[in-house]
Amino acid sequence: MALHVVAARTDPALFRLPWSRPLAEWDDWHLVKLPLGLSRHVVRVVQVNRQFLAVKETEADIALREYHLLRDLQRLGQPAVVPRGVVTGRTADDGSPLPAALLTEHLHYSLPYRSVFQHGLQAEQVPSLVDALVVLLVRLHLGGFYWGDVSLSNALFRRNAGGFAAYLVDAETGELRPQLSDALRRHDVTVGTENIFAELMDLGASGDTDIDVDADAVITQLAERYESLWSELTAAEEFGTDEWFRVEQRIARLNDLGFDVDELDVQAGSETVRIQPKVVEAGHHRRELRELTGLVAEDSQARKLLNDLAAFTAHFGYGEQDPRVVARRWLVDIYTPIVGLLPPQARGRIEAPEFFHEVMEHRWRLSEVAGHEVDIFVSARDYVDAVLPHRPPDAPAGLD
């Protein structure tokens, strides 16, 4: 059987990889040294021209199904790794068949959960990690995706303004439906609590973390926060006809959570009004930031940058000017020069929006100690000198 590659855009360099050898036996010079999560499959990261791809060996029908499912999730704008292709028809030099390979794009600045714990995660940050997985699960469920194997191992995590953003990395057991039943949603949550409890117990036993993690508290938090967020995003709300302001309050609460309301079902009676969000889209702040500045960031990062832009607008009295003009001025006068202070050897190890956020946090701490507002450029230089050298990288040096 001839080698067969299914891909949206086939790079000829793919054919030069040693597909006639099991992935576990590939020479180091083909591979990129990146932290990988636990997997039932053999997984490696390779470089094809300037692109970094995760390669997973599995059965051909499973690889093709997952590839098309990930493409569907990509079209829906869901937070998942980007599929790049499937290689089938692999045979060893002796003619024996080899597994198919699923290729996905490496998610830059991301880490598997064990690496997050190994890279200086503090006990007080564990709830942020859980929240990131909750938001991921809710977003997938809103989009009609049943995960089937919710776990920390099947997600990747990126820094997000002091917290985390989670991405689906393994969709092998998933199903995409027009709408999920409550039973399927709850089953996903139940499976998630069981898997995560086992993962955290194993993490503690392995010595991969120095912090004491209460697995019971974590899974309780996951279930409670899932129900709370799902209810906030989808539940109907009733109020009196003299309380129409509560419609704006509901939308504002959703915006604060990082979601936009695409459609609102409003039923007004003689004495009461009933509202229910019909379709909720994530990424409110990142869309606003991108529209104003062209910058791409995680949603919490975008919210922090928008806050700094608002402070810049108020400080210089630009409130009456076109917001896009002011945003470009902030971009030229503040954001770009600050990011430019990031040393060349550190670029590729921390995202620019995360760097800017951490500089703002450092400025707040310096100002509190000094008793007055410290200049942001002074703060940035101090951060680069005093904090950045000791900060664990979000990606290996030189990976850009």
Separation CA 166–CA 137 (nearest Å): 9
Q: What is the largest CA-CA distance in the chain?
A: 80
CA 167 to chain centre: 4
CATH class of 4-105: alpha beta
DSSP sequence for 127-159: HHHHHHHHHHHHHHHHTTEE-SS--STTEEEEE
**pLDDT tens digits in sequence order for the chain, 400 residues long:** 577 888 777 677 788 889 999 998 998 888 888 767 667 888 898 988 878 899 999 999 999 999 999 999 999 999 999 999 999 999 998 889 999 999 999 888 888 998 888 877 888 888 899 999 999 999 999 999 999 999 999 999 998 888 899 999 999 999 999 999 999 999 999 999 999 999 999 988 887 788 888 999 999 999 999 999 999 999 988 888 888 888 888 888 888 888 888 788 888 877 788 888 877 788 899 999 999 999 999 999 999 999 999 999 998 898 889 999 999 999 999 999 999 999 988 887 889 999 999 999 999 999 999 999 999 999 999 999 999 998 887 765 545 5
Q: Give the start-to-end residue ranges of the domains of the chain.
A: 4-105, 110-234, 237-282, 286-390
Tell me the CA distances in angstroms from 69 to 64, 96, 236, one per residue in order: 9, 29, 31
Separation CA 127–CA 130 (nearest Å): 5
What's the N-to-C CA distance of the chain in angstroms? Answer: 37
Q: Contact 110/156 with Cβ under 8 angstroms?
A: yes
The neighbour count for residue 221, using CB atoms within 10 Å, is 17
CATH class of 110-234: mainly alpha
- pTM of the full structure: 0.86
Q: Do domains 4-105 and 110-234 have the same CATH topology?
A: no
